Amino acid sequence: MSLLVVEGLGIKFGGLHAVKDVGFTLKSGEIVSIIGPNGAGKTTLFNMISGIYLPLAGRVMLNGEDVTGMSPNRLAERGLSRTFQNLQIFQSMTVLENVMAGFHLQARGPVLSDMLGLPGSRRRSREAEAGARLLLERVGLERAAEREAGALSYGALKRLEIARALALRPKVLLLDEPAAGCNAVETEEIDHLIAAVAAEGVSILLVEHDMKMVMRISNHIVVLDYGEKIAEGDPATVSRDKRVIAAYLGAQATEAANADG
């Protein structure tokens, strides 16, 4: 069964369709990427799926439940979490504290006992710390646990953001440009991390401009242009599609040629 089903999603800004009638499905452990030129509607689509924008049309089904328009917190409780294109890391907190913040979000509830420092809250904190350290190990940042997050390299910050999203124990993880601003080595590390997370059964929805990465790790690709889905399929099928080449891969080739010249 598909974990996430997106049907006919649409939204308008100032009378113009930013996204129109877009649908696709995501199965357990699958990596689906959304690609398309700048302004194609990728982030807007993400924002509708993750409860930031209310769609004008269509619906989002998570694990068989209609979650359209549900708040990001309620979606996180149901197993959907995300990262952002612009990092949402607390720069002056330590790396460990940033991931622990993710655990506290997940274990919301007994706030009063936490404030009073009651025994249950100390146990929860210890569990959050142990869990956070395990996640840091998973993303290769265990030795940076006590460092201030602001001192990390860009690639490490991107991995920290993934660790924090994983603290919410998602079944579906939305990654908005996880390799943006990263060098080739950092991109490869993120690439391996995403594949490893998916191999453990977490479904990944990815928006990414790095086509090499997208082609390498995606099971399925959805291509947007001017807010509409113009193609979808496995990487080989999509990279041969004439509309995709014209709309996106062609544009990238032109950009690359201009940069070379």
Ligand X SMILES: Nc1ncnc2c1ncn2[C@@H]1O[C@H](COP(=O)(O)OP(=O)(O)OP(=O)(O)O)[C@@H](O)[C@H]1O
Quote the CA–CA distance of 155 and 210 in Å, as a whole number. 14
Considering beta carbons, is residue 47 or 81 the nearer one to ligand X? 47
Binding to ligand X by residue 206, rule CB under 6 A?
no
Binding to ligand X by residue 218, rule CB under 6 A?
no
Pair 205, 227: CB distance under 8 Å: no
Q: What are the start-end ranges of the H helices in the chain?
A: 42-49, 72-77, 95-106, 111-115, 119-138, 154-166, 184-199, 211-217, 235-240, 242-244, 250-260
CB of 259 to ligand X, least distance (A): 17
Binding to ligand X by residue 223, rule CB under 6 A?
no
In the set 43, 83, 98, 187, which binds ligand X (CB under 6 A)? 43
Q: What are phi and psi of 146, to 5 degrees?
A: -90, 0
Considering beta carbons, is residue 13 or 90 the nearer one to ligand X? 13
Report how many helices (DSSP H) and strands (DSSP E) the chain contains, helices first: 11, 10
Binding to ligand X by residue 12, rule CB under 6 A?
no
Considering beta carbons, is residue 96 or 175 the nearer one to ligand X? 175
In the set 18, 70, 135, 160, which binds ligand X (CB under 6 A)? 18
Quote the CA–CA distance of 196 and 201 in Å, as a whole number. 9
Binding to ligand X by residue 150, rule CB under 6 A?
no
Considering beta carbons, is residue 85 or 94 the nearer one to ligand X? 85
Binding to ligand X by residue 117, rule CB under 6 A?
no
As beta bridge partners, residue 32 has: 205, 220
Binding to ligand X by residue 50, rule CB under 6 A?
no
Considering beta carbons, is residue 49 or 139 the nearer one to ligand X? 49
Residues 6+ apart with CB under 8 A from 237: none
- What letter does residue 258 receive in the DSSP assignment? H
Binding to ligand X by residue 44, rule CB under 6 A?
yes
Considering beta carbons, is residue 41 or 170 the nearer one to ligand X? 41
The position carrying tokens 């190990």 is 137
Q: What are phi and psi of 14, to 5 degrees?
A: 55, 40
CB of 17 to ligand X, least distance (A): 9
Quote the CA–CA distance of 86 and 78 in Å, as a whole number. 24
CB of 142 to ligand X, least distance (A): 32
Site string for ligand X, 20-39 (x = CB under 6 A): ----------------x-xx
Binding to ligand X by residue 8, rule CB under 6 A?
no
What is each CA distance from 116 to 36, 110, 121, in whole angstroms? 50, 10, 8
CB of 120 to ligand X, least distance (A): 42
Binding to ligand X by residue 40, rule CB under 6 A?
yes
Residues interacting with ligand X, by CB under 6 A?
Answer: 13, 18, 36, 38-44
